[in-house]
Amino acid sequence: MKIIDWYILKKYFVTVLFFLFALTTIAVIIDLSERTDDFAKTKLPALTILTEYYFGFIPRIDALLFPLFVFLSVIFFTSIMANRSEIIAILGNGVSFFRFLRPYFIGGIILSVFLWWCNQSILPKANAKWASFSAKYIDDSYAGIRNQSFINNYYFRLDSFSYAGIRYYDTVSRSGNGFFVQTFRNNQMVYNLRSESIAWDTLTNKWKLTGISERFINGIQEDIKQHSVMQMKYNFKPMDLQRDEYMKDKLPTKELNEFIRLEKIRGSEIVNRLILEKSSRDAGPPSVLILTMIGAIVASKKIRGGSGFHLALGIIISVLYILVGRFSSVFAMKGNFNPVLAAWIPNIFFGLLAYYFYRRAPK
Dihedral in degrees, nearest 10, Cα atoms 12, 16, 22, 27? 150
pLDDT value of residue 299: 85
* Coil, strand or helix at 287: helix
Task: State residue 148's pLDDT score.
Answer: 53
69, 322 Cβ separation under 8 angstroms? no
pLDDT at 286: 92
Domain of 83, in residue numbers: 3-141+270-360
265 part of a folded domain: no
What pLDDT is recorded for position 305? 58
- The model scores a pTM over 0.85: no
Give CB contacts under 8 A, 24+ apart, made by 87-91. 87/300, 87/302, 88/302, 90/4
Cβ proximity of 307 and 246 under 8 Å = no
My answer on whether 206 and 316 are in the same domain is no
How many domains is the chain partitioned into structurally? 2
Confidence (pLDDT) at 145: 45
Does one domain contain both 137 and 208? no
* Same domain, residue pair 115 and 154: no
In this prediction, residue 88 carries a pLDDT of 83
Can you give the pLDDT at residue 64? 86
CA atoms within 13 A on the CB side of 243: 18
Distances, alpha carbon 109 to alpha carbons 88, 116, 267, 314, in Å: 25, 11, 38, 20
Say if 251 falls within a structural domain.
no
The whole-angstrom separation of Cα 280 and Cα 319 is 18
Query: d(Cα 44, Cα 40) in Å, to the nearest integer?
Result: 8
pLDDT of 160: 78
Q: What is the pLDDT along the chain (363 residues), one digit of tens a residue?
A: 688 889 899 999 999 999 999 999 999 999 989 888 888 888 888 888 888 889 989 998 998 889 989 998 998 899 888 888 888 888 888 888 888 899 999 999 999 999 999 888 888 888 888 888 887 777 654 444 444 566 788 888 887 788 888 998 887 788 889 999 999 988 889 999 999 999 999 888 899 999 999 999 888 888 999 999 999 988 888 877 766 666 777 788 888 888 888 777 777 777 888 888 888 888 889 999 999 999 888 888 877 656 677 777 778 888 888 888 888 888 887 777 888 898 899 999 999 988 888 888 765
Residues 55 and 177 in one domain: no
Residue 248 lies in a domain: no
Question: Under 8 Å CB-to-CB from 130, ≥6 apart: which residues?
Answer: 53, 56, 57, 60
Within this chain, do residues 130 and 175 fall inside the same structural domain, yes or no?
Answer: no
